[in-house]
């Protein structure tokens, strides 16, 4: 992704965060889908988003080959999706 793509995704994230949890300061903790998350600064968001997309791509590849889903990877994916306010995909249904 280009830096401009991250900015657009981050703006969407901030809008969604504010609409969902109200106007909180960075670092304030809230609960999202059973996970404690906080409003992320841009650099924190880019790190989490990059890892989220990397794991999502990995899971898509693994499941498309008919391999077994690693529970630790899946749990990490679920947690990251909560942090970046994305609905996790159900890779067992692919």
**Does residue 75 contact residue 35 with C-beta atoms inside 8 Å?**
no
pLDDT tens string for the chain (94 positions)?
Answer: 666 789 999 999 999 999 999 999 998 999 998 899 999 999 999 999 999 999 999 888 887 887 777 788 888 889 999 999 998 887 766 5
Q: Which pair of tokens denotes residue 73?
A: 């990877």
Q: Is the pTM of this model over 0.95?
A: no
User: For the chain, what are the domain ranges?
Assistant: 3-93
Q: How far apart are CA 27 and CA 40, in angstroms?
A: 7
């Amino acid at each position: 992704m280009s830096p401009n793509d991250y900015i657009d995704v981050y703006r969407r994230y901030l809008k969604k965060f504010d609409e969902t949890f109200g106007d909180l300061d960075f670092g304030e903790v809230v609960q999202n889908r059973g996970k404690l998350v906080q409003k992320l600064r841009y650099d924190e968001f880019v790190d989490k988003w990059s890892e989220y997309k990397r794991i999502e791509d990995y899971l898509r590849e693994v499941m498309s080959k008919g391999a077994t889903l690693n529970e630790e990877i899946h749990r990490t994916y679920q947690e990251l999706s909560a942090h970046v306010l994305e609905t996790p995909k159900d890779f067992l249904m692919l």
